[in-house]
Amino acid sequence: MNILNKAMVATLPLVPKPVVRKFAGRYIAGDKLSDAVELTKSLNDKGIMSTIDVLGESIQSKQDATDAKNECLNVLDAIDKHKLNANHSLKPTSLGLGIDYEFCLQNLTEIIKKAYELGQFVRIDMEDSPYTTKTIDLYKELYKNYQNCGVVIQSYMRRSMDDVTELVKTGTNFRLCKGIYIEPKAIAYKGKQEIRDNFMKLLKVMFENNCYVGIATHDSFLIEGALKMIDEFGKKKSEYEFQMLLGVRERLRDKIAADGHRMRIYVPFGTHWYNYSIRRFKENPYMAVYAIKALVTGGR
């Protein structure tokens, strides 16, 4: 069945976007910032935090990057205006990292400076391997003046232990995840268990160095391992949080929150929803089956 589902994913480009959009709705807040605000309010009412992200990654021009920067600034304003229990996540390539490093740094600095003035935190997302070193360099440069930012580490990358060993020296605020981009075996672990094992090794180093960690996973094995490690280190609930994607394992999400652990949900919004949705379908092929079936049956 899994092989069949994965084959279904490969046919998704043939599915009309309105059909994909219907089934992708569980993964995104909507097209507008107001959609993300309302969804965050509903999560906050359940005692769950959010991190709001404007969809859109690699852009083609500096004007596109400037537009993306302005959208990020609008997110910060909305969090402040509505008193949301939320922070902001952003992808450096949306701010011009693939065009000009210094230009991207300038955009990021403006965003993080404003977040600092508003008492907010910004998470700098990690993308695929061509940008790993540049993203960490951006974070280090920004952290010199603004400590209200953190970075993401992916456990499937072979370099991650070296990166963490260096970053813990300054008390980095981490999001730790497995990683989603397709990378060559030379630089990335491929085995399910070796990725898990490295995740736990990285988490241990982060905890040993008293770093705040966003434990970003839907994997029950890793969640159970993290909870055990939290007990072993005697971590206070204010010293870590769990993080999940919108629309994924909601019962487990609610249970973790009900048990008193901090839980943060990734809340993306925007018109550039298609590529993000396809990635989610690849993670959850069963959703692709529903989308293909709707195409074949005309939605019946």
Residues forming the active site: 125, 175
| Both structure tokens of 212 | 């705040």
Q: Which secondary structure element, helix H or strand E, spans residue 24, and what is its range?
A: helix 17-24
Percentage helix, strand, coil, to 5, in the chain? Answer: 55, 15, 30
Q: What is the secondary structure of 101-117 as a DSSP string?
A: HHHHHHHHHHHHHHHHH
The whole-angstrom separation of Cα 218 and Cα 77 is: 30
∠ CA 26-252-209, rounded to 5°:
110
In angstroms, the Cα distances linking 47 to 140, 227, 251, 260 are 32, 19, 14, 9
In angstroms, the Cα distances linking 122 to 138, 140, 146, 149, 155 are 13, 14, 10, 5, 21
The total of other beta-carbon atoms located within 10 Å of residue 156's CB is: 22
Which DSSP symbol is given to 95?
G
Contacts of 18 (CB under 8 A, 6+ apart): none
